[in-house]
Amino acid sequence: MSVSTNDLRNGMTLNLPEGLFNVVEFQHVKPGKGGAFVRTKLKNQRTGAVIERTYRADEKLDQAIIDKREMQFLYRDGGEYVFMDTRSYDQLQVETGLLGDANNYLKEGDDAVLEFFGDEIVGVELPAAVELTIAETEPGLQGDRVSGARKPATLETGLVIQVPLFVNPGELVKVDTRTGEYLTRA
């Protein structure tokens, strides 16, 4: 499907020769001399790399139609994650590599929105924050209350994050899925 550069919106996905790109931001520019143009910042859907491109006003680009499906993560099967479509109850096996960083935040029973372009998974939408259990960290000592001091902690998914000194193994913590940072105890 073709879309004009005049109709670009943030979050729109474009199918460019280099791959799928999300529009991060765009700006229409009308200089005093010459034709108008559109300056864009685009993020590669697969690699996360951000590029800047300039297009003539009213230039046609291919818009990619992304199908978003609500899925529930059931379990891991070797190197694959097994999801269930919450509408049709169909099961889908997904290779770990296709999930990007999402596999650091998914535990059994969690919901996620998988983004499909045709039959290919191109992204995973997670909640802004998830609650995960601390699997391993050095225990906090009485009096360990140094302001802002942190220690490494391994979560149940295998992700290692920095947590305050008072957090102990077995505790439930809230983690930001966009930055991978500790937010608070749950």
Cα 175 to Cα 26, 46, 86, 126, distances in angstroms: 31, 23, 25, 12
Domain-terminating residue out of 62, 87, 106: 62
Q: What's the CA angle centered on 24, arms 21 and 27, to 5 degrees?
A: 115
Query: How many distinct structural domains can be found in the chain?
Result: 3
Q: Comparing 23 with 147, which gets the higher pLDDT?
A: 23
- Integer-rounded Cα Rg, in Å, for the chain is 21
**pLDDT (0 to 100) of residue 50:** 92
This prediction's pTM: 0.74
pLDDT tens per residue across span 71-116: 999 998 888 899 999 999 999 998 888 888 888 898 898 899 998 8
pLDDT tens per residue across span 143-177: 656 667 788 999 998 899 998 888 888 999 999 98
**pLDDT (0 to 100) of residue 143:** 60
Domain-terminating residue out of 105, 125, 145: 125
d(CA 99, CA 38): 32
Q: Which domain holds residue 180?
A: 129-185
